[in-house]
Amino acid sequence: MNVNEQDFLRLAENSGTLCFLDIESTGLRGDYNSVLVVSIKPFGKKAYSLSVKQAGNDQKVVREAKEELETYDAWVTYYGKGFDIPMLNTRLLKWGQPPIEKRPHIDLYFTLKYNLLMARRSQAHHLRWLDTPQQKMDLSPELWNEILADTPKAMGTMTARCESDVKGLEGLYRKTKHLIREIRR
């Protein structure tokens, strides 16, 4: 049986097996950087987060994130195919763990890039332009630097940022899901 994309999304939403994912990390490369926070928001439910106690020590967080993500039938990210999932898989490899099992993965970055003609492609720009209730939380350069100097002090703000991203992602999904015409792993 073949199910079209919109029917699949409706089924995943109704069954509670669709989630929104975002991570925060110390940088953009998994060999030199590590994961700080992983936020997951089941469709229509409250976001929750996994976070490190100290930057660099992400073994437990990435393992738990893998276990959580594998309980969902589909994921929604914003540039998650280019960053979030590869970063998690890189860190899992570092700790001798297998990669996250693939799932249908809707990456709104690519959905919107190929369906809209926008001057900017950031999630923040799309959220502002579509006037979604949840906007992207901005962080100062000082806070990013503080993460490495005093991780526990900055983690509350980092977790709030990551959770605001998955809430915004759900808002963006709700406004643009009619554009989703292809779902790949």
Q: Which helix (H) or strand (E) holds 125?
A: helix 123-129
CATH of the domain at 105: 3.30.420.10
In a domain, 91, yes or no: yes
E-strand spans in 99-141? 105-107
The model's pLDDT over 79-95, given as tens digits with 9 standing for 90+, comes to: 999 999 999 999 999 99
The pLDDT value recorded for residue 109 is 98
In a domain, 21, yes or no: yes
The pLDDT value recorded for residue 1 is 56
**Tokens read off for 99:** 């990669």
Domain range for 13 is: 5-179
Instruction: Report the domain count for the chain.
Output: 1
Q: Which helix (H) or strand (E) holds 39?
A: strand 35-42
In a domain, 185, yes or no: no
> Global pTM?
0.95
In a domain, 184, yes or no: no
The model's pLDDT over 11-51, given as tens digits with 9 standing for 90+, comes to: 999 999 999 999 999 999 999 999 999 999 999 999 999 99
